[in-house]
Amino acid sequence: MQHVFLVLVPATSLLGQKLFWNGNGLRLFANEGGRIRDRAMSAWFRDDATPFLLEGAVQIALNYVQRAGEIDDYTETCRFLVDRVEFMIRQGHRNRLLLANRAISQFQRYRRARTIELSLMSG
């Protein structure tokens, strides 16, 4: 997991407002009291980015699993992938391809274990 550190470097804007620059080059504005009033944050930390991230990662994983012919029950597969990707997003992962790849490998392990379990029960 990556850690993001905020480095505040004071500067003054043309309007006399205090500006602070974080380590990623994003501006933070401060009022006369010196308190930061407006934060320009990257898309990684926006709350509304999570549904798009979830949708994209699940779609990638679902396309792969479908093309590989590994889907027995479409609804169960969708639920499994959504649950796994959602869990990883809550842990702080934000890379769509990483989320999809890990969900695919977890689904393949789950499917393999389920197949072995069913063969032991029937044999």
The structural domains of the chain, with segments of one domain joined by +, span: 9-41, 45-122
Q: Where does the pLDDT of residue 119 fall: very low under 50, low under 70, confident under 90, or very high at 90 and above? A: confident
pLDDT tens digits, 29-84? 444 555 544 444 455 555 556 889 999 999 999 999 999 999 999 999 999 999 99
Contact present, 58 and 104 (Cβ < 8 Å): no
pLDDT tens digits, 70-100? 999 999 999 999 999 999 999 999 999 999 9
Given this model, what pLDDT does residue 115 score? 85
**Tokens describing residue 71:** 């889907």
**Tokens describing residue 37:** 């009033």
In 3D space, the residue among 6, 50, 49, 48 whose CA is nearest the CA of residue 27 turns out to be 6
